[in-house]
Structure 1
Amino acid sequence: MISFLLRRLGSGLLTLAVASVVVFAVLEILPGDPARLMLGLNATEDAVQALRVEMGLDQGFLVRYFHWIGGLLSLDFGRSYTYSVPVLDLITERAAVSLPLALISLALSTAIAIPVGVFAAARRGRTADTFAMAASQFGVAVPNFWFALLLVYVFAVWLRLVPAGGFPGWHAGLWPALKALILPAVALALPQAAILARVTRSALVEVLGEDFIRTARAKGLPQKTVLWRHALRNAMLPVLTILGLQFAFLLAGTIIIENVFYLPGLGRLIFQAINQRDLIVVESVVMLLVATIIVINLLVDLSYAIVDPRLRVRA
């Protein structure tokens, strides 16, 4: 198990190093001068040159890259030229919105998808199975921003149950903050629940054909026990894989939803920083998301050994 962990950690560090080079290089080759874009077309050459020196753009590629990496390793992400505050403070403030939003969305999608997948697998080939899979196909095909607009119209404009956008902050109280996150969380969760339900059903259908399931039924175990205790646990490996990928997507792919609901999260921060060519913010947030995804994948790999004891023996 220790050697397995070391291999996974080494692979994660290598991925992080390659990602840092790619992120830095891609942002460097973007057209336009960040200093001139930030100051505007009417800025003088002296002012533009002074800002370029302040941003370190007058130095070479490798010098700026290693300076940036050294700052990341020491948790010094630099200072945003747009907001005039440390980038780490910006990330901490915005993560307080994006991280709860991703967790709520993941919990909702799991709570919807697992029962639907088990329900459809237990009724394979029947009308209920067809209806459930048709609904999940619709959820996969429709983009989340369409769900977001529909939810805003129904629950915010028509029924007036929740706000249409904005975030009051956690200091305003737990319920007002959660109330502002309900609609975006549902908009993010529905497409992910559709994908997870289909994966759960497929994995369960395959497991339900195994010999040990027939043995459990021959012993007279109730159908509920066979499904939830024996079949579902053995079908959890692909489900866990999708859960890990979904959390990474929910954390990093909220740019559209946060802009629809005007949420001050990491997705909106990246969108604004790209428009304003605040490169240090974009680089730091993207690398943080890459590191988070690597950690999540490592945790998913470890959870395999918890769900399936045979993998612990192999490791």
Structure 2
Amino acid sequence: MLRFALTRALSLTLSLIVASLVIFAVIEVIPGDPAAFMLGLNAAPEAVEALRDDLGLNGSLVSRYLSWITGMMTGDFGVSYTYRVPVSDLVAQRLQVSLPLALYALILSTTIAIPVGLIAAAKRGSVTDYGIMGTTQLGIAVPNFWFAMLLVLVFAVNLRWFSAGGFPGWDAGVMAGLKALTLPAIALALPQASILARVMRSSLLETLHQDYIRTARAKGLSRRQATTRHALRNAMIPVLTIIGLQFSFLLAGAIIIENVFFLPGLGRLIFQGITQRDLVVVESLVMLLVFAVIVVTFLVDIAYAAVDPRLRRKA
């Protein structure tokens, strides 16, 4: 198990290094002069040069990259040109919204999808199965931002059970914060639950046709016992992959939903950084989100090894 974990950690570390080089090149090399880009075409040369000195852009590419990556490793993400505060402070503030939102949506999607997938697999070929598959197909097809606006129209405008947007802060109480995140979490969870339910059904149906399941049934176990004791654990392996990818998406890809509900999260901060040409914020946040995706991938791989001992023997 330790060897498997070290091998995966080394592989993902190399991926992180390559990602940092790509991000650095795209943000600071390809567009040309980042300072001129941030200030606009009509900026005075003196202002551009002052900003270059402020951002440390007068050094070589190698020294700038090493300075940036060293700062990232020590928690120094630079200073936002727009807000004039450390990017780490902005990330800490916005993460208090994005991380609970991602976890909330992931819990909702998993809680819905796994039982639904189990029911669909158990009722294969029945009206229930066709109904579930049709509903999940609709959940995948419907854009989450359209579903978000529909939720606002029904539950905020007409029924007035929830607010149409904004976040009161956790100082207002945990229940008030969760209530503000409920509609965005549902909007994010719908397509993820639909995907996860279909994967759960397909994986479980494939597992139920394996020889060891037939052997378990021949020994006297009922279909439910064979499913819960033997099939479910192996069927969870592809499901874990989807759950890991979904968490990464929910954390990094909620830009549209956060803008629909005016949530001060990481997604909206990236959007604001792009529109305000604050490349320091964009560069640091993209790297941070890539790091989060890689860490989640590593944890999923470790979960694989815990579920399937064959992976540990192959390492």
Query: Which TM-score band (shorter chain)?
Result: over 0.9
**TM-superposed deviation, 1:94:** 0.7
User: Are the equivalent residues in 1 in contact too, given 2:27–2:34 (CA < 8 A)?
Assistant: no
User: Are the equivalent residues in 2 in contact too, given 1:105–1:185 (CA < 8 A)?
Assistant: yes
Partner of 2:274: 274
Structure 1 Cα separation of the partners of residues 6 and 309 of structure 2: 20
Partner of 1:300: 300
User: Are the equivalent residues in 2 in contact too, given 1:145–1:187 (CA < 8 A)?
Assistant: yes
Q: CA RMSD in A?
A: 1.8
Partner of 2:217: 217
Partner of 2:120: 120
Structure 2 Cα separation of the partners of residues 120 and 192 of structure 1: 17
**TM-superposed deviation, 1:148:** 0.7
Structure 2 Cα separation of the partners of residues 150 and 285 of structure 1: 30
Partner of 2:247: 247
Partner of 2:312: 312
The reply on whether 1:152 has 2:152 as its aligned counterpart is yes
The reply on whether 1:208 has 2:208 as its aligned counterpart is yes
Gaps of 5+ in 1: none
Alignment of 1:172-187 (within 5 A): 172-187=172-187
**TM-superposed deviation, 1:107:** 0.6
Partner of 2:287: 287
Report Cα offsets for 1:206-242 as digits up to 9, x if no partner: 1111122223333443433232232211211101111
Partner of 1:58: 58
SS in 2 for 1:139: helix
Q: Which piece of structure 1 moves more, 271-280 or 39-48?
A: 39-48
**TM-superposed deviation, 1:54:** 1.3
User: Are the equivalent residues in 1 in contact too, given 2:102–2:185 (CA < 8 A)?
Assistant: yes
User: Are the equivalent residues in 2 in contact too, given 1:34–1:277 (CA < 8 A)?
Assistant: no
Structure 2 Cα separation of the partners of residues 205 and 117 of structure 1: 10
User: Are the equivalent residues in 1 in contact too, given 2:28–2:34 (CA < 8 A)?
Assistant: no
SS in 1 for 2:15: helix
Alignment of 1:61-76 (within 5 A): 61-76=61-76
Structure 1 Cα separation of the partners of residues 272 and 32 of structure 2: 16
Partner of 1:188: 188
* Length-normalised TM-score, structure 2: 0.94
**TM-superposed deviation, 1:284:** 1.1
SS in 2 for 1:235: helix
**TM-superposed deviation, 1:63:** 2.7
**Residue-pair matches, total:** 315
**TM-superposed deviation, 1:153:** 0.8
SS in 2 for 1:168: coil
**TM-superposed deviation, 1:55:** 1.8
* Length-normalised TM-score, structure 1: 0.94
Alignment of 1:226-241 (within 5 A): 226-241=226-241
**TM-superposed deviation, 1:195:** 0.6
Partner of 1:108: 108
Gaps of 5+ in 2: none
